[in-house]
Structure 1
Amino acid sequence: MNNRSKVFIIAEIGVNHNGSLEMAKSLIDFAVEAGADAVKFQTFRADQIMLHNTPKASYQTRNTDITETQYEMIKKLELDEQMHLILKEYSLKQHVQFISTPFDAPSLDFLVHTLQLPIIKIASGEITNAPLLLKAARSGKRIILSTGMSTLGDIEDALGVLAFGYGEGKENNSIPSRKAFKNAYYSEAGQILLCQNVSLLHCTSEYPAPFEETNLRVLGTLRQCFGLQVGYSDHTLGIALPLAATALGAVIIEKHFTLDRNLPGPDHKASIEPKEFSRMVCYIRQIEQALGNSYKKPVASELKNQKITRKSIVAARSILKGELFTEDNLTVKRPAEGLSPLEFWELLGKTAHKSYERDEVIT
């Protein structure tokens, strides 16, 4: 991903498969058709990530059965290991990258050692989960770290864990500590490892996220503060903000994806459907082409228009040989076949070396 010239577009399927293998395959099909570079799922064991009486978030309560706990809701959305294997293989056959987000250590081990995924996505809620971050970095895999609900200090702490894990802490006999993490982060070697292995995603962790709380200018802040690749994980309605983020320099765009926003489940309402996702991809590709480079000069398509649209100095009326050029007998008109209008004042008061008819180019 470091060498990509195009925005890396992730179709965040997450749990929008509703526990169905066939629905998951259909989502992959539509993501491929829309032009996504990767599909992303979520890998977890409900027993490992939450207490049985954990309440739902407000957005989950709005979109699902209010009588069930978050644990009961999540348990129904687990994908077992065999389903993961099938979906990874299916994705490879469709020529789209398979990514997943682990929420517990056994799930991370499965993604790293069994599925052998080259990229691990860490969710915003896990940014303080130092044991998971350390384990992910020790795996040597590339990490995309989402930063919803975080301060710059939270992000720096997480990057310290990762720097330690990629470097001296890669061996299990190295002793992790907050001091060791900080030292790793501020070391030259740690910074190099982070640049080689970590990308940050700006994110607002609400579903759907209010436009006025999205703060896309944070993209520039993250880039300036940490010097890493920066992208955007979007939870707003529609596709306007991923496009704006692309224009602001995001190199990764992640967007929740569903077959139908009216399906039951916690994330469907904040997702986009296939046709909308396809439009988003198309517009992102147009924007990244349009961004081009920062060197201001006439481009190839402009050069042929330069002569036609610029102007020359011409006679405003008939001018006799020996007559002085004045503001009354000179004007500027298209095309640019003679003297540039920038020379207008240089001609004033000089003598015409020949006679000119009205609209004749001054030479």
Structure 2
Amino acid sequence: MKEINFFDKKSLIIAEVGINHNGNIAIALELVEKAAKAGADVIKFQTLSPETNFNLTDKDNKLYRFFKKTTFSLKEYQQIKKKAEKERIIFMSSAADVPSARLLYKLGIPGIKLSSSNFTNFHLISELAKYNLPLILSSGMATIKEMKQTYDFLIKLKVKKFAFLYCLVEYPTQFENINFKIMEKMRQLFSIPVGFSDHTLGITAAFVARAKGACIIEKHFTLDRKLLGPDQEISLEPDELRKLVLGVRDIEAMLFANKPRINSEKKIEILKTRRSLYAFRDLEKGKVIEFDDIAAKRPYNKKGIDPRNYMTIIGKKTQQLIKRNQLIRKGIF
């Protein structure tokens, strides 16, 4: 089983299915396959116990009936997890309550996510801390004070590996409402991995977040935005997810990769494009070299004079005839 790691040089890209499968196991399995082909690191679902999350005395509760319809059984999750392992993508889910957390732990997943609505749910966090798994917590709606409280509680419980995600609980999130300075402040205050859960339309915000140092990028994912469901509108389709992955990896190559020193072959190629000093016209013996008597031309010749040192020959007399386009060699004066 692949492990969840938080890297600075390579971010963890999470394809957030949530409930975009609409309770259809065939759609769920296809989402796993498409996310893997797009290059995502993690395929993430949402696990929820309707009986635990909603007041059952309200028989007309539409949310209860919707989540009841879209909730997978342990057996179905085992199918999804097996498919993820086959496709070599990490299977993960958010736990909305204690029963769901226990189901996921029994399933043997490598990490658990907490949604923004559970960021301050210490009852649930206490349960998750027992599992010794990496935790990812979305911080939407949380104040800095609440972030500090949750951080301190996780440290108290000796949770060794956890990350916060900066996000806004606005669907879709408008660009003007994003403030990546908050994400940077979170990283500075807590010295932990900090990522971005993106609820905007498109992929622009995810690119900016990665450039700003987000080590986790989470984006909603669907097969088709025309499908029914509350998160379909803000989700990426497979080809768009592929563009996001490629763009993020390009950003990482430019900003976060270890840059190798120029090797000898590259150095030779560079030198081929550089210049040495040549005579611009015939220079008779005894000619005092002036600025317009010389030109920096290709090819570069290590026996010649680098253009950076042209001032060293200005005002000097030639000791011999130097013909036009002849290399001006070191020691010719």
Q: Which interval holds the TM-score relative to the shorter structure?
A: 0.7 to 0.9
**Partner residue in 2 for 1:184:** none
Residue 259 of structure 1 deviates from its aligned partner by 0.9
**Partner residue in 2 for 1:165:** 157
User: In 1, are the aligned partners of 2:276 and 2:297 still within 8 Å (CA)?
Assistant: yes
**Partner residue in 2 for 1:59:** none
User: Given the alignment of the two structures, is residue 129 of structure 1 paired with residue 129 of structure 2, yes or no?
Assistant: no
Runs of 5+ unmatched residues, structure 1 = 55-66, 168-192
Taking the aligned partners of 2:265 and 2:134, their CA distance within structure 1 comes to 40
**Partner residue in 1 for 2:309:** 343
- Among residues 85, 100, 105, which one is paired with 2:78 in the alignment? 85
1:12 partner SS: strand
Question: For the structure 1 residues 68 and 108, does the alpha-carbon distance in structure 2 shift closer, same or farther, using more than 3 Å as the test?
Answer: closer
User: In 1, are the aligned partners of 2:194 and 2:215 still within 8 Å (CA)?
Assistant: yes
- Among residues 325, 343, 347, which one is paired with 2:289 in the alignment? 325
User: In 1, are the aligned partners of 2:6 and 2:193 still within 8 Å (CA)?
Assistant: no
**Partner residue in 2 for 1:41:** 45
Residue 299 of structure 1 deviates from its aligned partner by 6.3
**Does 328-337 or 291-300 show the bigger shift?**
291-300
Taking the aligned partners of 2:37 and 2:284, their CA distance within structure 1 comes to 71
Question: For the structure 1 residues 334 and 51, does the alpha-carbon distance in structure 2 shift closer, same or farther, using more than 3 Å as the test?
Answer: farther
Taking the aligned partners of 2:123 and 2:311, their CA distance within structure 1 comes to 74
**Does 296-305 or 257-266 show the bigger shift?**
296-305
Question: For the structure 1 residues 351 and 292, does the alpha-carbon distance in structure 2 shift closer, same or farther, using more than 3 Å as the test?
Answer: farther
Taking the aligned partners of 2:211 and 2:267, their CA distance within structure 1 comes to 26
| Residue identity opposite 1:284 in structure 2 | V
**Does 13-22 or 231-240 show the bigger shift?**
231-240
The number of aligned residues is 322
User: In 1, are the aligned partners of 2:151 and 2:190 still within 8 Å (CA)?
Assistant: no
| Residue identity opposite 2:19 in structure 1 | V
- Among residues 267, 292, 296, which one is paired with 2:231 in the alignment? 267
**Partner residue in 2 for 1:284:** 248
**Partner residue in 1 for 2:12:** 8
User: In 2, are the aligned partners of 1:321 and 1:352 still within 8 Å (CA)?
Assistant: yes
TM-score (norm 1): 0.80
**Does 38-47 or 298-307 show the bigger shift?**
298-307
Runs of 5+ unmatched residues, structure 2 = none
2:145 partner SS: helix
Residue 302 of structure 1 deviates from its aligned partner by 4.7
Question: For the structure 1 residues 354 and 231, does the alpha-carbon distance in structure 2 shift closer, same or farther, using more than 3 Å as the test?
Answer: farther
What are the superposed Cα offsets for residues 29-54 of structure 1, whole Å, 9 maximum, x if unpaired? Answer: 21122122221111111232244699
**Partner residue in 2 for 1:355:** 321
Give me the identity figure in percent.
Answer: 35
**Partner residue in 2 for 1:75:** 68
**Does 281-290 or 264-273 show the bigger shift?**
281-290
Taking the aligned partners of 1:274 and 1:145, their CA distance within structure 2 comes to 25
| Residue identity opposite 1:127 in structure 2 | F
2:77 partner SS: helix
1:328 partner SS: helix
What are the superposed Cα offsets for residues 317-344 of structure 1, whole Å, 9 maximum, x if unpaired? Answer: 2212222222131232333323222112
Taking the aligned partners of 1:222 and 1:232, their CA distance within structure 2 comes to 11
1:48 partner SS: helix
